[in-house]
């Protein structure tokens, strides 16, 4: 497996410089989403003070406007970000160079060098997110070997997109140090292997209160009438990326059909079993792709479920 040049650099030597005093100056790293809607860029400047955050030239401004319209309903989100660790040659980390590992089954939440590929990266990322104040709440090995997931949330409103984008940025940075790549491709390996999604959990104050299942079911009904709009909003290429993943197999729904069910991992919308029993809580939208824009996903859910929009296009507020 090819190794990136950054992996061969001495981190010990770098640390000597990182311990030097900055005096009264501040290094401010600016992070933004690039024109593809899924890539991240950054640059650093020297300032005399710590700057305030600024709006990005992307979906955040529009998403934030919509979130402010429904603040009184206290929308909460949690996103489950799946990703695949690759070598710089594009081959999954830990896979045989001229073949495939054993079939899926033992890798999900697996333990051991023959089941969990790249745990050092996962644990370094988790710690870095906690240090940075990201609302990361868990992680686990996924179904395909070298595939992992971390969860962010619960976050209210616009915070969801902010925290997930920063968590992705930190993951890329950690992988850079280890000389590997984090891929958010929804179907990195064709064939009988699981794809990668970003399942999104959603609730409102009403849904979380006693009897909230009725509000959950009402929202699911609205989502069913607007399936095409959500499919377009759930990956940067308007559904083309997700078409490779949402096949109706490998724990996914069919991209052309809308479905919902209790504890059904093959449905578009899953109501967790405990939510069905307690008659309140949240629902999980399993359609967003791993490379989705969280601002676009959360905005779409608000527009359909809370603002009652219909049709295939978002309203212009």
CATH code (residue 188): 3.30.590.10
pLDDT at residue 55 in the model: 57
Neighbours of 285 (CB within 10 A): 27
pLDDT at residue 2 in the model: 56
Q: Please list the alpha-helical segments (H only) found in 41-91.
A: 60-69
Report yes or no on 234 lying in a domain.
yes
Mean pLDDT of the chain: 94
Q: Please list the alpha-helical segments (H only) found in 133-270.
A: 159-178, 205-208, 213-224, 227-233, 240-243
Name the percent of the chain lying above pLDDT 90. 84
Average of per-residue pLDDT across 262-281: 96
Comparing 6-10, 63-67, 181-185, 272-276, which segment has the lowest mean pLDDT? Answer: 6-10
Instruction: Summarize pLDDT for 30-71 with one digit per residue, the tens.
Output: 999 999 999 999 999 998 877 766 558 579 999 999 999 999
Instruction: Identify the band that residue 282 occupies on the pLDDT scale cut at 50, 70 and 90.
Output: very high
Indicate if the pLDDT at residue 236 is higher than 90.
yes
Instruction: Summarize pLDDT for 117-174 with one digit per residue, the tens.
Output: 999 999 999 999 999 999 999 999 999 999 999 999 999 999 999 999 999 999 999 9
Domain count, the chain: 1
Indicate if the pLDDT at residue 1 is higher than 60.
no
3-state secondary structure of 120: helix
Average of per-residue pLDDT across 239-254: 96
Report yes or no on 14 lying in a domain.
no
The answer to whether the beta carbons of residues 1 and 117 sit under 8 Å apart is no
Distance, in Å, from the CA atom of 101 to the CA atom of 107, rounded to the nearest integer, reads 10
For 50, which DSSP code? P
Average of per-residue pLDDT across 255-282: 97
Instruction: Identify the band that residue 291 occupies on the pLDDT scale cut at 50, 70 and 90.
Output: very high
- Cα separations in angstroms, 111 against 33, 121, 149, 155, 279: 34, 15, 15, 30, 35
Report yes or no on 130 lying in a domain.
yes
Average of per-residue pLDDT across 172-191: 96
Instruction: Summarize pLDDT for 59-102 with one digit per residue, the tens.
Output: 999 999 999 999 999 999 999 999 999 999 999 999 999 889 99
Structural domain for 299, as ranges: 24-47+54-305
Write out the two tokens for 65. 């406007």
- Cα separations in angstroms, 73 against 105, 136, 208, 210: 41, 23, 11, 15
E strand spans, the chain: 26-33, 40-47, 76-86, 136-141, 147-156, 181-183, 198-203, 260-262, 269-271, 283-285
Distance, in Å, from the CA atom of 90 to the CA atom of 86, rounded to the nearest integer, reads 5
Report yes or no on 184 lying in a domain.
yes
Report yes or no on 280 lying in a domain.
yes
Comparing 10-14, 69-73, 94-98, 308-312, which segment has the lowest mean pLDDT? Answer: 10-14
Report yes or no on 192 lying in a domain.
yes
Write out the two tokens for 33. 């989403």
Distance, in Å, from the CA atom of 218 to the CA atom of 225, rounded to the nearest integer, reads 11
pLDDT at residue 53 in the model: 61
Report yes or no on 310 lying in a domain.
no
């Amino acid at each position: 497996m090819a190794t990136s040049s950054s992996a061969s650099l001495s981190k010990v030597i770098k640390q000597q410089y990182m311990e030097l005093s900055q005096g009264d100056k501040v290094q401010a790293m600016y992070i933004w989403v690039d024109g593809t809607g899924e890539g991240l860029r950054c640059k650093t400047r020297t300032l005399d003070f710590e700057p305030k955050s600024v709006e990005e030239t992307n979906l955040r401004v529009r998403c934030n406007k919509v979130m402010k319209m429904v603040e009184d309903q206290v929308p909460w989100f949690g996103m489950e970000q799946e990703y695949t660790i690759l070598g710089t040659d594009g081959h999954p980390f830990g896979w045989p160079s001229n073949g495939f590992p054993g079939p899926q089954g033992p890798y999900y939440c697996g333990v051991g060098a023959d089941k969990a590929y790249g745990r050092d990266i996962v644990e370094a990322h988790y710690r870095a997110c906690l240090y940075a104040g990201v609302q990361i709440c868990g992680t686990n090995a996924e179904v395909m070997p070298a595939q992992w997931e971390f969860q962010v949330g619960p976050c209210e409103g616009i915070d969801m997109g902010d925290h997930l984008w920063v968590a992705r940025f930190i993951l890329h940075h950690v992988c850079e140090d280890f000389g590997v790549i984090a891929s958010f491709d929804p179907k990195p390996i064709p064939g009988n292997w699981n794809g990668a999604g970003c399942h999104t959990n959603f609730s409102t104050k009403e849904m979380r209160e006693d009897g909230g299942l009725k509000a959950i079911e009402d929202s699911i009904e609205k989502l069913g009438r607007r399936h095409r709009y959500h499919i377009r909003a759930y990956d940067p290429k308007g559904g083309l990326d997700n078409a490779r993943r949402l096949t109706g197999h490998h724990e996914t729904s069919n991209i052309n059909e809308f479905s919902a069910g209790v504890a059904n991992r093959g449905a578009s919308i899953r109501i967790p079993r405990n939510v069905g029993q307690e008659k309140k809580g949240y629902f999980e939208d399993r359609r967003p792709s791993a490379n989705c824009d969280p601002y676009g996903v959360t905005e779409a859910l608000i527009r359909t479920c809370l603002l009652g929009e219909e049709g295939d296009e978002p309203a212009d507020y």
